[in-house]
Amino acid sequence: MRTFKTFLVVVLVLACSSMLASQDYGKLSKYISQATGDYVGSAACGICHVQTHDWWFGSGHAHKLRDAEEARGAGVPPPDSVSWDDIKWVIGGFNWKARFVGNDGYIITKGGMNQFNLANRGWTDYHPDETKKYDCGPCHMTNYKETGRQEFLPGVVGRWTFPSVHCEECHGPGKQHILTGGSPAEVTVNKSSAGCGKCHFRTDPAIIPASGGFIKHHEQYNEILKSNHGTQLNCVTCHDPHKTGSSSIKITCADCHADVAGVYEGSSMGQSGVTCEDCHMPLMTKSAISLKKWVGDVKTHMFKINLNAGAKPFTSDGTEAKGYVTSEFACLVCHYDRDKSWAAGYKGVIHGLR
């Protein structure tokens, strides 16, 4: 029966030859026969979509949850309170920070100093000595289900098909896509911001959570909904989601705002190298560490600047951002010897300032 099943898979894959004539059918057959349900894994996608797979593998999405050996090989150190033998998975550790999950499935918090920050290769406390279950689904795994426990570990909430964010988390299970010769009807392509917003928000897209003088991390969906861009653009208008960092940028501010960009290019600010993003997308969000006063480590996506001297970036209790950038973050991080009243004097004229 098993031999017949393998033969049938090979036949089905070979039947797709009109569209996949140059591909390695032996590899495709292997991934189909080893599929978990209809999920075949990103390596199978990479057989046809080579370049896109390589871009994805070089992004943070591919490394949201890594086994200990992979993270160790990438140069992530363990907390002093444990050894690598005590660690099952590492959460992140690609762009900003790494946290560690023990062999029992609980996040390691013993003694504190349990979050490794890549920017300064230093350590900070993350819920020191608290009992913290690993409940990071669905944003760090593929095909996450809230029920059950992965590998029956007591500290884990839920189960998943693959660790990290693989192709099939966004594009849906790939088995039928392969068996139909790459039929577009058998793959999901969701270009809405809501598709990204499944992970790039917290509890309520209508608010932008903040803490400690910064926006909390992964709030980009909340932010863009608060901005004027939210009604006109989607995340993928500007970003290729398969890529990482600056390489993911598809268009620039000047591509849409050519009139403003033309004026700004000749201004004193433009000539000194200050970019649109420096002021309209400052580091108003903190994922791992604050680099200095009013400087976090993630760019905001609110864009609008409120230069009024009395404008506050956050609510009075500091738990929500108001949906705009204020002069502390847009201006005073560089003009640190000035104040908000000084910045307010440039309202409406900054783009053409000579």
Tell me, letter by letter, the H, E, C secondary structure of 239-260. ECCCCCHHHHECCCHHHHCHHH
Per-residue pLDDT for 94 more than 60? yes
Residue 20: band (very low, low, confident or very high) from pLDDT cuts 50, 70, 90: low
Per-residue pLDDT for 67 more than 90? yes
Which pLDDT score is estimated for 75? 96
Residue 106: band (very low, low, confident or very high) from pLDDT cuts 50, 70, 90: very high
CA distance 216 to 321: 9
- The per-residue pLDDT for range 249-304, each reduced to its tens digit, is 999 999 999 999 999 999 999 999 999 999 999 999 999 999 899 999 999 999 99
Beta-strand pair 320-321/208-211: antiparallel
Q: Helix (H, G, I), strand (E, B), or coil: what is residue 186? A: helix
- The per-residue pLDDT for range 160-204, each reduced to its tens digit, is 999 999 999 999 999 999 999 999 999 999 999 999 999 999 889
Which pLDDT score is estimated for 203? 82
Average pLDDT of the residues of the chain: 93
Residue found by looking up tokens 């100093």 in the block? 113
> Residue 74 is encoded by which pair of tokens?
């990438």
> Residue 42 is encoded by which pair of tokens?
């990103």
Which pLDDT score is estimated for 19? 47
Least confident interval from 16-30, 63-77, 132-146: 16-30
CA distance 299 to 329: 11
